[in-house]
Chains A and B, each alone.
Chain A
Amino acid sequence: MTEQNFIIESKDVHLYYGKKEALKGVSLDFMPKEITALIGPSGCGKSTYLRTLNRMNDLIPDVTVTGTIKLNGKDIYSPKMDTVALRKEVGMVFQQPNPFPFSIYDNVAYGLNISGMKDKQKMDEIVEKSLRRAAVWDDVKDKLNKSALSLSGGQQQRVCIARVLAVEPEVILLDEPTSALDPISSAKIESMLVELKERYTIVIVTHNMQQASRISDKTAFFLQGDLIEMGQTRKIFTNPKEQATEDYISGRFG
């Protein structure tokens, strides 16, 4: 049973926005401590699928999800599932850097704060460790009490990643985290993600095919709400099974 190894298993996931079917039966599994890239033309349902994994779609009115998604074997859509606990296990980084209008320190400490951590010294340690792992410690160590909004976009995004790391999730979901950033900031985030892979399972939506091929172990190609193909990144990019995948990768559409 190789299935035992998967950290997330999703089976026949359909998602409807009202009557509109945005995911048409997606079955996709994720290996722990790997980077999986979700690619596909815009509007094909990558973000929608990503958001099913931490149930952020619950926040949108009139959304229906069917099928099963399991995290470590537990059905995350079962009525017994605590979404608050789930989201501590499955963190998320958004397309637009979205730090709170607080100090850098308070941003990173937010997750600890809401979990009721009181130990200031421990908190300091975790904040520093998270900022280091997010490769932004050197940029901000002298101004932890400054507003996070005073940072550049790339620094803000890394602080947002540190904010997620501080909660110690198992899985990190990233929705086009570098699409609003300059190439240098993007490169920093890419190499940081490759390092984070040692500890975390990473699922990243990206528009940028080079990015997917540079950093990911597996790649999944979506088209109009369907998962077309999923496999080793090298295989998908050099020798895809499906014609649609090849067309997309060679830039024939999208």
Chain B
Amino acid sequence: MQSSIEERLTKKSKKAKLETFGKSLSFICIAFIVLVVISILYFVASKGIATFTQNGVSIGSFLGGTDWNPSGKGADGQPLVGALPMITGSFLVTFLSAIVATPFAIGAAVFMTEISPKMGKKILQPVIELLVGIPSVVYGFIGLTVVVPAVRNVFGGSGFGILAGTFVLFVMILPTVTSMTIDALNTVPRHYREASLALGATRWQTVYKVVLRSAIPGILTAVVFGMARAFGEALAVQMVIGNAALMPGNLVSPASTLTSILTMGMGNTVMGSLQNNVLWSLALILLVMSLVFNIMTRLIGKKGAMK
């Protein structure tokens, strides 16, 4: 009997072994994920920087140049790799779609949390979840068959351009921004609403001056999240924006975004060539921007938490 107790205490129990096993397993998984992420970062960065280190393009002419024709050369013999048209296009569709989506998202969220939670739960919630799940090619297809002709009829031109891209992205990010805004409003404690009403505020004043105001960090996070999604969206935008690497002079002439030029050019270049390297540089910009969006949401969250 005594030996068995001693044995049990000194030998590792089955549970302890299982725990060690589980710990190592999850550690290996995490290490693997970290490794993959680091390799991707390294790969994109090294490729993207090659444009500047190997092909001798200056960062200024890449970020600030407006002529994009990587297979040709300019009058000064330098390759034409000005990415400003795409950078501008990407930021324009991102900001415009976010600006249009935000009021709609706030309106829908206020309806669902403050005005009619029952109907919101029954009808709007499933609709939003459905919209989130629709693949982007479907949005692009609808954009191509509905939005582009509509823009053409109203504004003339081909219909392809920033405006069509904005519309499609607006619809695409709306469900995400809305559901995150709903979450933000729902985390505003009940007692803020009670305090406001007890002070003689109307329901509308309470929503406007207390609930929305307290939820600002959450709403901003939702909007930035939507912007990150819009900035990175490729397929649907590519289908409606026209893909002309020109500075967008107006909202209804063909333009392009970083993602659309990237997807268009990917298959047509040779690894290691300048034409290929500049695409990686575009990818690097996308990567950096998604990092920036990520940091922004974190900072906003932190600031909100401090209050």
Q: Which A positions have Cβ atoms within 8 angstroms of B? A: 54, 56, 59, 84-88, 91-92, 94, 96, 98-102, 110-111, 113-115, 147, 149, 160, 163-164, 167
> Contact at B197–A98, with CB atoms within 8 Å?
no
With A94-B195, A98-B192, A113-B209 as known contacts, state yes or no: A84 contacts B307, CB within 8 Å: no
Minimum CB–CB distance from B220 to chain A (whole Å) comes to 15
Chain B residues with CB under 8 Å of A147's CB are 307
Of chain A, the residue at the smallest CB distance from B205 is A114
> Contact at A56–B198, with CB atoms within 8 Å?
yes
- Interchain CB contact (< 8 A) of B191 among A98, A102, A111, A115: A98
Minimum CB–CB distance from B302 to chain A (whole Å) comes to 15
Interface residues of B in 169-202 (CB under 8 A from A): 189, 191-192, 194-202
Q: How far is the CA of A212 from the CA of B209 in the complex (A)?
A: 36
> Contact at B195–A114, with CB atoms within 8 Å?
no
Chain A residues with CB under 8 Å of B197's CB are 56, 59, 87
How many pairs, one residue from A and one from B, have CB atoms within 8 Å of each other in the complex? 65
> Contact at B213–A102, with CB atoms within 8 Å?
yes
> Contact at A87–B200, with CB atoms within 8 Å?
yes
With A100-B192, A101-B307 as known contacts, state yes or no: A92 contacts B198, CB within 8 Å: yes
> Contact at A101–B200, with CB atoms within 8 Å?
no
9 A-B residue pairs with CB within 8 Å:
A56-B194, A59-B194, A91-B198, A94-B195, A98-B192, A101-B214, A114-B205, A160-B195, A163-B195
Number of interface residues of B (CB under 8 A): 18
> Contact at B200–A84, with CB atoms within 8 Å?
yes
Minimum CB–CB distance from B47 to chain A (whole Å) comes to 46
Minimum CB–CB distance from B19 to chain A (whole Å) comes to 41
> Contact at A87–B199, with CB atoms within 8 Å?
yes
Given A100-B196, A110-B196, A111-B199, 7 extra CB contacts under 8 A:
A56-B194, A94-B194, A96-B191, A100-B210, A113-B209, A114-B196, A167-B200
Chain A residues with CB under 8 Å of B205's CB are 114
Of chain B, the residue at the smallest CB distance from A115 is B200
- Interchain CB contact (< 8 A) of A88 among B189, B195, B200, B213: B200
> Contact at B200–A111, with CB atoms within 8 Å?
yes
> Contact at A149–B192, with CB atoms within 8 Å?
no
Chain B residues with CB under 8 Å of A85's CB are 200
Of chain A, the residue at the smallest CB distance from B200 is A88
> Contact at A98–B200, with CB atoms within 8 Å?
no
- Interchain CB contact (< 8 A) of B199 among A59, A101, A149, A167: A167
